[in-house]
Amino acid sequence: MNAIISADELASDLAGQHPPVLLDVRWQLSAAKAAGEPPFDGRAAYASGHIPGAVYIDLDAELAGTAGDRGRHPLPDLEVFGAAMRRAGVTAGRPVVAYDGGQGWAAARAWWLLRWTGHPDVRVLDGGLAAWEGALQTSVPTPAEGDFEPVPGATGLLDADAAAALARTGVLLDARAGERYRGEVEPIDRVGGHIPGAVSAPTHENVGSDGRFLPAEQLAGRFKALGAAGGSQVGVYCGSGVSGAHEVLALAVAGIEADLYVGSWSEWSSDPTRPVAVGPDPR
């Protein structure tokens, strides 16, 4: 099953007999606070207009735990996450589609969490709300309570030690911007640089100018050039486990399974005893 769905396909599915559950996960990490501007308000954006039937999901409160030593967006409490999914009407037997404003990062975080906790049929709207040409609604739907019970997967998740080991024995991709990987700038975390052995693979290079994913064959070629092919174990990290989920999604589109280090650089760099590499070379 494809991990993404086009706006046309979604419109057709919503008009069918078995429409998917829709999750609106609009969120963005921005420099608004540093610029003295109010932060992005996903709930207000949802209230101003959303795809009919979509339920708003708060990434910071429902798809992540409290920021701290485990990173800025650690795994959520599964009871909180499960309750949010059931409130949205998520059941194990009904497809789910997540979307955000167009960047794809937040929707991918919801997609990854649902997959990791056992949902069999979840996709991301390719291009997000920006790709949707249908009507929007402002009223808040009240779907029937879902029955989804999240069960953590045996695979798919990396901790700091596993990420470090994978950088030595497999392929660990760093989904952040190249300048953060190289340690030239670090606008958020304690120090810049990367996990020794990790390969720079900015997730923004997986999409075109319209925010939609590149064709699967093109993505597969990109990842092969980065070493992610031929049966190698692949892992991904980013700043806090959000854009990294987007890279895991891109890998899935290319037909490559990958694990996510959710704590990512925000966890790794918070511990001064962990090694940090700088510059363009992995080590």
Task: For residues 215 and 113, state if they share a domain.
Answer: no
Instruction: Note whether residue 152 is domain-resident.
Output: no
As a whole number of angstroms, the distance between CA 134 and CA 90 comes to 23
Enumerate residues 6+ apart whose C-beta is below 8 A from 47. 138, 140
Enumerate residues 6+ apart whose C-beta is below 8 A from 151. 117, 118
Task: For residues 179 and 259, state if they share a domain.
Answer: yes
What 8-state DSSP symbol labels residue 33?
T
CA dihedral 93, 84, 10, 117 (to 10 degrees): -50
Instruction: Note whether residue 38 is domain-resident.
Output: yes
Instruction: Note whether residue 43 is domain-resident.
Output: yes
Residue 78 is part of a domain; what is its CATH number? Answer: 3.40.250.10
As a whole number of angstroms, the distance between CA 242 and CA 111 comes to 11
Residue in 201, 96, 191 with CA at minimum distance from that of residue 146: 96
As a whole number of angstroms, the distance between CA 90 and CA 74 comes to 22
- If one counts the domains in the chain, the total is 2
Task: For residues 22 and 121, state if they share a domain.
Answer: yes
Enumerate residues 6+ apart whose C-beta is below 8 A from 2. 123, 253
SS3 per-residue string spanning 46-74: HHHCECCCCEECCHHHHCCCCCECCECCC
Task: For residues 163 and 125, state if they share a domain.
Answer: no
Q: Which domain holds residue 171?
A: 157-268
Residue in 164, 173, 194 with CA at minimum distance from that of residue 236: 173
Helices assigned H by DSSP within 138-242: 160-169, 178-182, 216-225
Task: For residues 54 and 89, state if they share a domain.
Answer: yes
Task: For residues 113 and 202, state if they share a domain.
Answer: no
Q: Please confirm, yes or no, whether 238 is among the known catalytic residues.
A: yes
Q: Which of 234, 238, 254, 262 is catalytic?
A: 238
283 residues of the chain, pLDDT tens digit each: 799 999 999 999 999 999 999 999 999 875 444 455 678 899 999 999 999 999 999 999 999 999 999 999 999 999 999 999 999 999 999 999 999 999 999 999 999 999 999 999 999 999 999 999 999 999 999 999 999 999 999 889 999 999 999 999 999 999 999 999 999 999 988 899 999 999 999 999 999 999 999 999 999 999 999 999 878 899 999 999 999 999 999 999 999 999 999 999 999 999 999 999 999 988 7
Instruction: Note whether residue 282 is domain-resident.
Output: no
